[in-house]
Amino acid sequence: MTSSWLSRRSLVRGSLAGAALAAAGSAVPHTAVGLGRRPLDTRALRAALSDLAHPEATSAQLRAVRDTDRWHGTAGAADTASGRGPRPGDRFRAGSVTKAFVATVALQLWAEGRVELDAPVGRYLPGLLPAAFARITVAQLLDHTSGLPDHRGLPDLSTPEAVLRHRSDRWTPRELVRTVTHDPLKFRPGTRQEYRGINYVLLALLVEELTGQRYGAAIDARVLRPLGLARTSIPGADPRLHGSHVHGYLRMTDGSLSDVTVYDQSSSWGEGELVSTVDDLTRFQEALFTGALLPPRATEKLFTLPPDSVRMLDGGPARYSTGLQKATVNGVTLWGKTGETFGYRTRVFATRDLRLRFVLAYTPTPVAAAEDMTQRIVSVLTS
Give residue 35's pLDDT: 72
In DSSP terms, 29 is beta-bridged to none
Q: Which residue blocks in 112-252 are alpha helix, DSSP H?
A: 138-142, 160-165, 173-178, 198-211, 215-219, 225-227
Is residue 76 within 8 Å of 85, Cβ to Cβ? yes
Among candidates 324, 366, 365, 339, which has minimal Cα distance to 76?
Answer: 365
Measured distance CA(242)–CA(263) in Å, rounded: 13
pLDDT in tens, the chain (383 residues): 333 332 333 323 333 333 334 332 333 344 555 676 789 999 999 999 999 999 999 999 999 999 999 999 999 999 999 999 999 999 999 999 999 999 999 999 999 999 999 999 999 999 999 999 989 999 999 999 999 999 999 999 999 999 999 999 999 999 999 999 999 999 999 999 999 999 999 999 999 999 999 999 999 999 999 999 999 999 999 999 999 999 999 999 999 999 999 999 999 999 999 999 999 999 999 999 999 999 999 999 999 999 999 999 999 999 999 999 999 999 999 999 999 999 999 999 999 999 999 999 999 999 999 999 999 999 999 99
Measured distance CA(128)–CA(178) in Å, rounded: 8
Is residue 223 within 8 Å of 101, Cβ to Cβ? yes
Give residue 33's pLDDT: 55
For 16, 72, 89, 367, 373, the CA distances from 363, given in Å and listed in that order, are 15, 17, 16, 11, 11
Is residue 115 within 8 Å of 106, Cβ to Cβ? yes
Spell out the residues 6+ positions from residue 205 whose beta carbon is closer than 8 angstroms to its own. Answer: 125, 128, 173, 174, 177, 215, 270
Q: Is it true that domain 5-382 has CATH number 3.40.710.10? A: yes
Q: What are phi and psi of 43, to 5 degrees?
A: -65, -45
Among candidates 116, 62, 54, 105, which has minimal Cα distance to 85?
Answer: 62
Determine the distance from the C-alpha atom of residue 47 to the mean position of all C-alpha atoms in its chain, rounded to a whole number: 25
For 67, 68, 77, 98, 257, the CA distances from 37, given in Å and listed in that order, are 8, 10, 34, 33, 43
Where are the domains positioned within the chain? 5-382
User: Taking the model in full, what pTM does it have?
Assistant: 0.93
Give residue 34's pLDDT: 63
Measured distance CA(89)–CA(108) in Å, rounded: 28
Measured distance CA(362)–CA(204) in Å, rounded: 27
Determine the distance from the C-alpha atom of residue 16 to the mean position of all C-alpha atoms in its chain, rounded to a whole number: 8
Measured distance CA(289)–CA(227) in Å, rounded: 13
At residue 84, what is the residue type?
R
